[in-house]
Structure 1
Amino acid sequence: MPTRSANEIVAALGSEQARRDPMPLFAELHRIGPVCRLTPGSSPYSFVINGYDAAQEALKDPRFHRLLTADPDPQDAVLRRLGGSMMFRNEPDHLRMRKVFQAVLTPRRLTGFEPVVEALTSELLEDMAKAGANRQVVEFTDFAYRLPITVIATFLGIPRSDVGWFKDRTQRIDDYLDLGGKSPAKLAAANQSADELNDYYAQMIAERRLRPRDDLVGSLVHALDSGTSGIDEQELIDNLLVLVNASFVTTMNLLTNGLELLLAEPHLVDAIRNDPELAANSVEEILRHQSSVQLISRKASTDLELAGQTIPEGSWVLILPGAANRDPAKHPDAGTFDPGRDDLQHLSFGAGPFFCVGAALARMEGRAAFGQLFGRFPKMQLAGPPERSHSLLLRGHRSMPIRLG
């Protein structure tokens, strides 16, 4: 087969086949180089970054700007809300907002929350056991959704009766953000969802003022009203919208990706069942092997050098964490799922000053889920082929039917 150009490979990423499995295309990019120049006009992007070291350097370098910082169209509620959060802001705004959340997401607070995560996991697995009694087929994606959304809801103080309300709204926003997702219909749906989520969090903040509570939102509102937070109310709302969306969608993908990988390796399932502490390394290898986030966009704010390539000011670059995690220069036999490998480093939570603020919570949820799952259901198996989601941005599953025993 003739070697394809980087342009042809990037164009192929939007195909149905690549959305199911982009890994062969990532391998083709690795053979070209860690940073691939694209022909002007062939794509919104001028470069694609797929090598591990190059991707890590780009993610750490604040001169690679996030793209949702310019004032969007006032009618585009979704871009206003996303662009108002720390996830899409550059310095100094990013650090100003990040400090607010770091002040309440302390290691002590997170450590104290771990027993709550373990208890919620046990409760939700019991619900799954009831649904799967008498060898009934159950949908694992239901558990994979309910665990992270229930955890973040409990952490923030969102009523559990509301958790089902979030799924469709965040899905519409993610559909719009996906590669090729910028249709008028998807924008309209995403805007409506962003407005509804904005109103929800505004009401939640108002309720905390009337009835203060010792939860994360209560702490953030107290800091806001005392003048010590460094952010305004709309910025708090925008950050809550992104925090909840990012915290459960990516962890849901971690859980479904992980179950598919582990069930294909029965000896690994046996090992975790016998020693649940092994779940920690499995979580890291799941994140490396199947990154929940596959695409990150950046824009060069000045002329830059990266992996021997000159990237001119104003160039858009597409960073591929899923490809970087499979870079054979970083991980020998990168396509093999091996929780026992010596180096489990990955870029699935980003790098540097923009490292995911929810990484510790996501890891905690993964450890709890896989640490309990196989002991609770030692004969669990797939009940049919899992169905991948259509998204290239977020790698997960639409469906994963299982039998518990």
Structure 2
Amino acid sequence: MDPLAAFRALATPEGRQAPYPLYEAIRAHGGLVPVKEGTLVAVGYRECTQALREPRLQVQDGTAFDRVYPDWRDHSSVRAFTDSMLYSNPPNHARQRGAVNTEFTPQQVGRLRPVIEETITGLLDRMAGLGAGGAEVDVMEEFATRLPIAVVGAMLGFDEERVTWFRDLATAIAVATDGFTNPDALATADAAMDELAAHFGELIARKRGCPAGDIVSSLVRLHDTDPARLSHGELVGNMMLLLTAGFETTAFLTGDGALTAIRNPEYAARLCVDDAFAERYVEEVLRVEPPVHVTSRWAAEDVTLAGTRIPAGARVVVVLAAGNRDPRRYPEPDRFDPERVNSQPLSFGGGIHFCLGAALARLEARIALPMLFRRFPGLAPTGEAAYRDRWVIRGLRTLPVTTGSGEPAVTRLAS
């Protein structure tokens, strides 16, 4: 298949539902493939890694948007993210990241374990009630999406009773991370962004008058005392980023982890009793079904990457999901194998833009999956799991199950 045809197919509904064959069609032409003038696609593990760490390759900021999507400012959902560290380059990136970095140290993340466990227990109780008598329950709706939005809501100081409202708005807004590959969804994303921005304005005013020990209070204090370090747009943009990025990626990781274990009961059984296995299992889910499939970099100047010259102004589309299945890096790359050693998936990016919430996402999944299958060892599918119509951030839309009653998972493992 022509690499340009494969690349363009990724922006179609069919391509978004089944991207892996298209990645392989591009890989057939190399690890870093020019698909048209000014655009190259990295699908090799080595090439993706180098692109993520090369300082002359920068993220898409407002200037880059101007070259490709001149009307981007008409969309509030896109405009808000350009003020965040996600779309910022040095030196602005380090300044913004430093403002929130202290909240995501291993020590700070570890302190969230009781909150995570308490939230999961409540969600499992809810699932038990909804699934009583064999009724169908959607793992994505009732568990995987509710957990991370509750945790990030607690970190940001959101109202606990509005968790599902935040989740639904964040889901709509996150379409903006696909850029303009799904233009029909941008109108919905813009409306959700406007609604959430209004709420954030009220929240900022409330935290300014009555600060608490949460990230928003810290960011508001920083903005008020030193706006040169954090402007108002950056304050709101990074709040949006923390909400959406901290929500969908973890939800999709948890959902795909649950689906894989449902399809492979031996994994579900081991998750219940083996913490070390749970860690390896989550890493393999991240490799095989990463929540973030793709990111982009722009050449600030001429640069040579993996032997290929990239002219200034060119774009490198870094397909993390393809790099994770590079046969040069992983034997039998399409096979799910939790016993792989030294896996190091690219799923959280790399370089200065390595995902700030990676440790938190891993911790939530490592706690959530064992607790889910200990509580419901008889979890069984009632229909086909369906993926969202997304490419950049890709994950399950629905995972219908019955909770079952069955014998404890520990007994099944022993047998």
Normalization by structure 2: what TM-score?
0.91
Shift of 1:180: 5.5
Aligned-pair identity (%)? 34
Seen in structure 2, the aligned counterparts of structure 1 residues 104 and 124 have a Cα distance that, compared at 3 Å, is: same
Question: Are the equivalent residues in 2 in contact too, given 1:14–1:180 (CA < 8 A)?
Answer: no
1:341 aligns with 2:334: no
The CA distance in 2 between the partners of 1:138 and 1:243, in whole Å, is 28
What secondary structure, in the 3-state scheme, does the structure 1 residue paired with 2:201 have?
Answer: helix
Shift of 1:328: 0.8
Shift of 1:315: 0.7
> What is the aligned-residue RMSD (CA, Å)?
1.9
The answer for the alignment partner of 1:297 in structure 2 is 296
Candidates 52, 55, 67, aligned match of 1:59: 52
The answer for the alignment partner of 1:234 in structure 2 is 233
Shift of 1:201: 1.6
**Which stretch shifts more, 224-233 or 146-155?**
224-233
Query: How do 1:47-126 and structure 2 match up within 5 A?
Result: 47-70=40-63, 74-126=73-125
What secondary structure, in the 3-state scheme, does the structure 2 residue paired with 1:343 have?
Answer: coil
The residue identity in structure 2 corresponding to 1:49 is A
Could you list the runs of 5+ residues in structure 1 that have no partner in the other structure? Answer: none
Aligned length: 397
The answer for the alignment partner of 2:167 in structure 1 is 167
**Which stretch shifts more, 221-230 or 314-323?**
221-230
The residue identity in structure 2 corresponding to 1:352 is G
The answer for the alignment partner of 1:29 in structure 2 is 26
Query: How do 1:355-374 and structure 2 match up within 5 A?
Result: 355-374=354-373
The CA distance in 2 between the partners of 1:167 and 1:128, in whole Å, is 18
The CA distance in 1 between the partners of 2:111 and 2:166, in whole Å, is 26
Shift of 1:277: 4.1
What secondary structure, in the 3-state scheme, does the structure 2 residue paired with 1:252 have?
Answer: helix
**Structure 1 outlier segments of 4+, above 4 Å:** 71-74
Shift of 1:229: 8.4
Question: Are the equivalent residues in 1 in contact too, given 2:59–2:296 (CA < 8 A)?
Answer: yes
What secondary structure, in the 3-state scheme, does the structure 2 residue paired with 1:240 have?
Answer: helix
The CA distance in 2 between the partners of 1:367 and 1:138, in whole Å, is 22
The answer for the alignment partner of 1:8 in structure 2 is 5
Seen in structure 2, the aligned counterparts of structure 1 residues 260 and 166 have a Cα distance that, compared at 3 Å, is: same
Seen in structure 2, the aligned counterparts of structure 1 residues 76 and 387 have a Cα distance that, compared at 3 Å, is: closer
Output one character per residue of 1:294-324: Cα deviation in whole Å (capped at 9) or x when no partner.
Answer: 1212211111111121111111221100000
What secondary structure, in the 3-state scheme, does the structure 2 residue paired with 1:292 have?
Answer: coil
Question: Are the equivalent residues in 2 in contact too, given 1:46–1:316 (CA < 8 A)?
Answer: yes
1:376 aligns with 2:369: no
**Which stretch shifts more, 200-209 or 12-21?**
12-21
The CA distance in 1 between the partners of 2:81 and 2:10, in whole Å, is 25
Shift of 1:178: 2.6
Question: Are the equivalent residues in 2 in contact too, given 1:55–1:319 (CA < 8 A)?
Answer: yes
Shift of 1:39: 3.0
The CA distance in 2 between the partners of 1:219 and 1:180, in whole Å, is 33
The answer for the alignment partner of 2:413 in structure 1 is none
Output one character per residue of 1:10-47: Cα deviation in whole Å (capped at 9) or x when no partner.
Answer: 1222344432221122223223211001133xxxx611
Question: Are the equivalent residues in 2 in contact too, given 1:84–1:239 (CA < 8 A)?
Answer: yes
The residue identity in structure 1 corresponding to 2:32 is V
The answer for the alignment partner of 1:317 in structure 2 is 316
Question: Are the equivalent residues in 2 in contact too, given 1:62–1:90 (CA < 8 A)?
Answer: no
The answer for the alignment partner of 1:215 in structure 2 is 214
Question: Are the equivalent residues in 1 in contact too, given 2:78–2:179 (CA < 8 A)?
Answer: no
Seen in structure 2, the aligned counterparts of structure 1 residues 327 and 260 have a Cα distance that, compared at 3 Å, is: same
The residue identity in structure 2 corresponding to 1:48 is V
The residue identity in structure 1 corresponding to 2:362 is R
Shift of 1:255: 1.3
What secondary structure, in the 3-state scheme, does the structure 2 residue paired with 1:38 have?
Answer: strand
The residue identity in structure 2 corresponding to 1:116 is V
Question: Are the equivalent residues in 2 in contact too, given 1:293–1:393 (CA < 8 A)?
Answer: yes
Shift of 1:223: 3.1
Normalization by structure 1: what TM-score?
0.93
Seen in structure 2, the aligned counterparts of structure 1 residues 204 and 179 have a Cα distance that, compared at 3 Å, is: closer
Seen in structure 2, the aligned counterparts of structure 1 residues 17 and 192 have a Cα distance that, compared at 3 Å, is: closer
Query: How do 1:235-250 and structure 2 match up within 5 A?
Result: 235-250=234-249
What secondary structure, in the 3-state scheme, does the structure 2 residue paired with 1:305 have?
Answer: strand
Could you list the runs of 5+ residues in structure 2 that have no partner in the other structure? Answer: 405-415
What secondary structure, in the 3-state scheme, does the structure 1 residue paired with 2:335 have?
Answer: coil
Output one character per residue of 1:39-69: Cα deviation in whole Å (capped at 9) or x when no partner.
Answer: 33xxxx6111101111111112232122232
The CA distance in 2 between the partners of 1:381 and 1:307, in whole Å, is 46
Shift of 1:172: 2.9
Question: Are the equivalent residues in 2 in contact too, given 1:223–1:229 (CA < 8 A)?
Answer: no
Shift of 1:75: 3.5
Shift of 1:7: 1.1
Shift of 1:221: 2.4
